[in-house]
Structures are given as structure tokens and as C-alpha cells.
Amino acid sequence: MPRIIVLPHAELCPDGTVIDDAPSGQSICQTLLEHGIEIEHACEMSCACTTCHVVVREGAESLNEADELEEDMLDKAWGLEPDSRLSCQAIVDGADLVVEIPRYTINHAREHH
């Protein structure tokens, strides 16, 4: 099974982590959630927001291609980069990945405490 290396993120994963058993055919978002990384997914992984935006630093070429809907949503993401993906749409496919969760997301529905 491929590995997902998650780079450090101040809130979600301060020291970074390595997921050694990322199942092929599952989204990055599902895999992160199953391994205790509480990445936002305000639209419940329906490709209707940008809160699960990640930057795939290595291994992006192994992922499924972004479809038009995902590309349109990514245009609204904070900190968009060439290898940005919505993690709910990016399907793991056998290759190791290095993923960075951006510092900020755009989530107007989130309540601040």
C-alpha cells in the first residue's frame, strides 16, 4: 500500500505524520480522517467547497485527474498552487504521496469560538 507523508500543520498535525497503509482507491481526505487528521470537509466530501484543499508536493501524477467541477472549486481555494487538489476528490492509486495541508481554508460556515 502507498504511503502518505503529511507535512507539519500547526493545528491538524503539528509534527507531520506518515500513513503507511493508505488504501488505493480511497480519497486522500478519507484516509487522513481515518488516521486522526481532522481535515475540514464542510460539504461532506461532495466537491462543493474548498475546505479539504491540499497541495500534493510529491506523487501528484499518480492521482486521478481533477474533473471540471473540482477545477472550478479549486479556483476559489486560498493559496492555490499548480499541484493543489481537493482531497475528497484525489484518489490514491499506488504511489507514495507527500501532502501539505494549507495553513488556511475558506469556510464561511465554520463558527469561530
Kindly state the helix (H) or strand (E) to which residue 33 belongs, with its residue range: helix 28-34
User: What is the per-residue pLDDT for 13?
Assistant: 95
Amino acid in position 1: M
Query: For 6-33, how does the pLDDT look when each residue is reduced to its tens digit (9 = 90+)?
Result: 999 999 999 999 999 999 999 999 999 9
Closest CA to 91 of 39, 8, 11, 23: 23
Please report whether residue 11 resides in a domain. Answer: yes
Query: For 83-95, how does the pLDDT look when each residue is reduced to its tens digit (9 = 90+)?
Result: 999 999 999 999 9
Residue 108: pLDDT band (50, 70, 90) is very low
Q: What is the CATH number of the domain that holds 85?
A: 3.10.20.30
User: What is the per-residue pLDDT for 113?
Assistant: 40
Closest CA to 27 of 102, 92, 73, 95: 92
**Number of other residues whose CB lies within 10 A of the CB of residue 64:** 14
User: What is the per-residue pLDDT for 107?
Assistant: 59
Q: Which domain holds residue 14?
A: 4-100
What's the grid cell of residue 113? 469560538
Residues 63 and 90 sit within 8 Å (Cβ to Cβ): yes
For the whole model, what pTM was predicted? 0.91
Q: How many domains does the chain have?
A: 1
